[in-house]
Amino acid sequence: MGEIDEGVMEGYLLLADISGYTKFLTGTELEHSHAIVTELTKLIRAALCPPMQFVKLEGDAVFCFAPQEAFPNGELLVELVESCYFDFTNRLLNMTRSTTCTCDACRAIGGLDLKFVVHNGTFIVDRDEDGRLDLAGPDVILVHRLLKNTIIEQGGPSSYGFFTDPCLTGVSTEFRLPAHEESIESFRQVTGVVQDLAAVAAQRREAQVVRLTDDAADIVFSYVVDAPPAVCWQYYVEPGKRHRHVAAVETGIEFKPNSEGRVATGASSHCAHGVGGDGFREYLDWRPYEYFSGISPELKPRVSNSSRLSRPWKRMSSSTSRTVAPSTDG
């Protein structure tokens, strides 16, 4: 998006709200929980902007807008929200699967979720004395009020995108989502549709198959472990068990001793819950007890997840992709 003109604008208003935020911050270590939430809000912003324009972070919510021409039809807007939620849940899964940290914040990552409220209307684009963007107008008030809705109370999904009717211009007749109404004080009845984002993400994840075969790999490590696949899988993905066999190369809390070689004054530690922690971070495909695929920033052989451990590696342009898969001849 180019230079933003100030003044009255017709367009879209979006709030992406992290569910479970308050409980997460108040019930866990502040330093770790803040780092996790910061990483997640940066991901949300990157997934939405562009075509949206970031306005500000409002506690647990990312507030964005876009001019009318940013979305020729409402389906593109819905797809943007679906993609953002998919990226968000993938990051949560990657954090949960990759960490070997046992701190309260890392254990509570799975309790976070995301919901969206999107409205189309008229608003004023302004800048404060420091040059930061801000929005004003009744429709800005309305989209914020819509965060306090009755979707879940009426049996709707907990991970949702609520799109008011003005957002859905130009959608095809086949595009149908459950209708929903809200009564907001000082405003007319608000009607729209609700998308179950968790269901969409699950379907998308199930359809995503990224499996690197031995034939396509540049290098394959294969060996036999005297245990069934389900047991080996647990020893790779469960933090407590994972520590028992990969402590030499990976740790959830990485300690750097001080100049005297002690974990004392002058030492440092890092909680490996996000990008920049453990080397193996992003999982592309996850099929429990069968295989998983992922991208690693560096080639580091590690113990894997099945009776017959097979790890094909393929050199990518900027990273290394690998699949860990069991063989039936264990």
Residue ranges covered by each domain of the chain: 7-207, 219-243+278-326
* pLDDT, tens digit (0-9, with 9 covering 90-100), for 38-89: 889 999 999 998 899 999 999 889 999 999 988 888 888 998 999 999 999 9
pLDDT value of residue 152: 94
Partners of residue 287 on adjacent β-strands: 291
pLDDT band for 239, please (50, 70, 90 cuts): low
pLDDT value of residue 174: 76
pLDDT exceeds 80 at position 147: yes
Peptide bond into 288 cis (omega under 30): no
Closest by CA position to 108, among listed 20, 198, 206, 235: 20
pLDDT value of residue 135: 95
Q: Give 83 or 99, the one with higher predicted confidence.
A: 83
Distances (CA, A) of 182 to 61, 78, 296: 20, 19, 46
pLDDT value of residue 61: 92
Q: What is the token pair recorded at 149?
A: 């809705």
pLDDT exceeds 90 at position 100: no
pLDDT band for 207, please (50, 70, 90 cuts): confident
pLDDT band for 311, please (50, 70, 90 cuts): low
- Among 23-27, 133-137, 203-207, 326-330, the least confident range: 326-330
pLDDT value of residue 171: 80
CATH homologous superfamily for the domain 7-207: Nucleotide cyclase, GGDEF domain (3.30.70.1230)
CA distance 56 to 132: 9
pLDDT value of residue 195: 95
Q: Give 51 or 171, the one with higher predicted confidence.
A: 51
CA distance 179 to 171: 15
* pLDDT, tens digit (0-9, with 9 covering 90-100), for 262-280: 333 333 434 455 444 444 4
pLDDT exceeds 90 at position 145: yes
pLDDT exceeds 60 at position 105: yes
Distances (CA, A) of 100 to 139, 260, 285: 45, 26, 20
pLDDT value of residue 282: 63
pLDDT exceeds 80 at position 4: no
pLDDT band for 307, please (50, 70, 90 cuts): very low
Across the range 281-291, mean pLDDT stands at 65
pLDDT exceeds 70 at position 220: yes
Q: What percent of the chain has pLDDT over 90?
A: 35
Question: Which amino acid, 207?
Answer: A
Closest by CA position to 163, among listed 188, 138, 193: 193
- Among 88-97, 138-147, 290-299, 314-323, the least confident range: 314-323
pTM check: above 0.75: no
pLDDT exceeds 80 at position 228: no
How many CB atoms within 10 Å of residue 187? 14
CA distance 254 to 264: 14
pLDDT exceeds 80 at position 302: no
DSSP strands (E only) in 233-290: 253-256, 268-271, 282-287
Using an 8 Å Cβ cutoff, are 87 and 33 in contact? no
